[in-house]
A and B are shown apart, each in its own frame.
Chain A
Amino acid sequence: AQSVAQPEDQVNVAEGNPLTVKCTYSVSGNPYLFWYVQYPNRGLQFLLKYITGDNLVKGSYGFEAEFNKSQTSFHLKKPSALVSDSALYFCAVRDPNSGNTPLVFGKGTRLSVIA
């Protein structure tokens, strides 16, 4: 069965500093990996995805994530954090070889960027 772990409930970073939000996954084959962001009282917004190809993928709002197969990780990164990046971030995985199984989400990591 596929699963996602986000080991940190909360990440605090100063504005202007680099940020990392961690994600590790477990699937039987090659994964489809996604990051979503949720702002207060809003739905989940797609940030970026890894399907195949370059391990470093770039997404919306200056975010990027690196797929590391040996470490089964897909950490979300940004070189310089903004206060407006403060939100709840979800990593999600899907095993494309498992028929119609849906996206499975991690429990989320709350990012707080302090001015």
Chain B
Amino acid sequence: EPEVTQTPSHQVTQMGQEVILRCVPISNHLYFYWYRQILGQKVEFLVSFYNNEISEKSEIFDDQFSVERPDGSNFTLKIRSTKLEDSAMYFCASSEAARGLNGYTFGSGTRLTVV
């Protein structure tokens, strides 16, 4: 069964450093998403991406965040200058249909720890 792949599985970084979280969505999917889950809390939407541009973003997704699809397969989330409160599990997801008719397929996540 096709999977969404995320790397690394765990990243530790110092406060103020830049991090890039990587995702390889399912190859025929057209819609891409980043969500995060702070430990023990709800899964929060960050951003959606379609046709090489952001289609929707939450208030969490401020100027410190950016997304990119640098080639035909990767989808990255960059945090420019990490803060302690950015520590969370970050999930990438993709879907093939508009409006998420078939739901989203999620990756296993990257646990980001900011120290």
Contact = CB atoms under 8 A, between A and B. Distances in A.
A77 B48 CA distance: 31
Chain B interface size, as a band, is 20 to 34
B99 A94 contact: yes
Contact of A103 (B45, B55, B107): B45
B101 to A, nearest CB: 6
Nearest to B42: A107
Given A90-B43, A104-B45, A107-B42, A46 B103 contact: yes
Interface in A59-90: 90
Contacts of B33: 102-103
B108 interface: yes
Interface in B11-58: 33, 35, 41-45, 48, 50, 55-56
Interface string A103-115: 1111110000000
B99 A36 contact: no
A32 B44 CA distance: 18
A108 B103 contact: no
Nearest to B43: A105
Q: Which of B43, B107, B108 has most A Cβ within 10 Å? A: B43
A107 B2 CA distance: 27
Interface in A14-55: 32, 34, 36, 41-46, 49, 51
A52 B70 CA distance: 37
Interface of A: 32, 34, 36, 41-46, 49, 51, 90, 94, 96, 100-108
